[in-house]
Amino acid sequence: MNKPLLLLLGAGCMVSCHKDGDSLANTWTWFGTQNTAVYNYVLINANQVINKADSNELHIGVSAAFIDSTSRQVTAVNALTVNNQQIQPGVDYTYNYNYTPGSSKDLPLFGTDVNVTIRGTGDDDTVSRSVYLPKQLMRLISDYPDTVHLKLGVPLSWSPDKDNTWGNVLIQLFYYVDLSKKVDSTLPGKINTVSITVPDNGNYFLSPKDLELFPIHAIIGITIARGTQNEAILPLSRKHIFYFSSASVSTTPLPVRD
């Protein structure tokens, strides 16, 4: 997996899972505007949020942006369609669409191929790709912690996906600064997110070493994600497009104990 997918997978997880965040377009500097190569992307992101209180939120959304290779400004394409659902651009020309589960027969589903069609300057400048959305990661709600003990570590479990061509999952540990400082005002104003890439075999043990950045009384979140990447070029406008998918599961905020 190359750098663009890691960037988008990480961004997708943090935006959908981190309750302090806003939308992707508003909080993340799109890498295509900072790179010598011009990137255009479509991201299909599916996230579960679970805890032992039997909460199981599901969020599925599409984000996309396209850039003019000359001006390096984000612009709209003629049409973007995902599983027969046309996605409209916002006022900033980025695309952001959140599905309501159960409300649409064309909702992208875990473990299936999602059809994405982009029409650039017209019908002759059209490309379609099937993008695999990885399988749901959650096994049992009881598999996920409601407290993080620094000395004991945290066992994590998920359902492997044999169709995950990357072969890995990304585990992220992130810090809720506002919630943490409400509990203990002496806690730091920032702790960098911990990212760990491990094989998609269904199990990983978060050791005390993995957790060492987080002090007692901190509030943190845990996310597990896997993703795919495809590429295409619009035949006339020659836009180089990356198609990304990300399936993830995340805990609600967890207190850190000794």
198-215 in b/e form (b: 16+ CB < 10 A) is: eebeeebebeeebbeebe
Q: Which structure tokens are listed for 58?
A: 């599901």
CA–CA gap between residue 116 and residue 62 (Å, rounded)? 10
Predicted confidence at residue 26, as pLDDT, reads 34
Q: Could you say which DSSP state residue 89 is in?
A: B
Residue 209: name the closest of 153, 251, 170 by CA. 153
For tokens 């709209």, what's the residue? 76
Residue 231: name the closest of 162, 146, 131, 145 by CA. 131
- Reduced to 3 states, what is the DSSP secondary structure of residue 65? strand
CA–CA gap between residue 49 and residue 76 (Å, rounded)? 32
Task: Let me know: does 89 contact 95? Beta carbons within 8 Å.
Answer: yes
Cβ neighbour number for residue 123 with a 10 Å cutoff: 9
Q: What is the pLDDT of residues 14-26, one digit of tens each?
A: 344 444 433 333 3
Q: What is the pLDDT of residues 207-235, one digit of tens each?
A: 999 999 999 999 999 999 999 988 899 99
CA atoms within a 13 Å half-sphere pointing along the CA-CB vector of 8 = 30
Q: What is the pLDDT of residues 97-140, one digit of tens each?
A: 988 766 666 788 889 999 999 999 889 999 999 999 999 997 65
Predicted confidence at residue 175, as pLDDT, reads 96
Tell if the pTM clears 0.85, that is, is over it: no
Q: Nearest 5°: phi and psi at 180?
A: -65, -45
Query: Distance of CA 248 to CAs 128, 186, 203, Å?
Result: 25, 32, 15
Task: Let me know: does 211 contact 101? Beta carbons within 8 Å.
Answer: no
